[in-house]
Amino acid sequence: MYERALAAFPVTADLWRRYTRYQEVTLNIPDVINATYKRAVRNCPWNGELWARALRALEASGADVAAEHEALYQQALQAGLQVGWLSKQDTCS
């Protein structure tokens, strides 16, 4: 179901968050979860929450992923992240 929805709406960050959360709770297969996060941040690079969750999932996988973690971290820094928790009045005009 999620794959079909993402095929139709690939830049919907909330859908990616729900899908990855579903995988974390239901599947708990680190390789699958990390691959899904890579797709999520590729499609929604402006979403800081997805980057943070992707980094945490990579850390939780338990593998020796130092170089991969650093590469993902550098990509996140260069992505031009969107801060979703700021209200309209808090943003610069």
The pLDDT score that the predictor gives to residue 86 is 42
The pLDDT score that the predictor gives to residue 51 is 87
Structural domains for the chain: 2-81 (1.25.40)
- Rg, the chain, Cα only: 14
Question: Do 58 and 65 meet the contact criterion of CB atoms below 8 Å apart?
Answer: yes
The pLDDT score that the predictor gives to residue 81 is 59
Q: Is 62 left (phi over 0), alpha (psi -120 to 50) or beta?
A: left
Q: What is the pLDDT along the chain (93 residues), one digit of tens a residue?
A: 999 999 999 999 999 999 999 999 999 899 999 999 999 999 998 898 998 899 899 888 876 667 777 777 777 777 765 555 443 443 333
* Residue 61 CB-half CA count within 13 A: 21
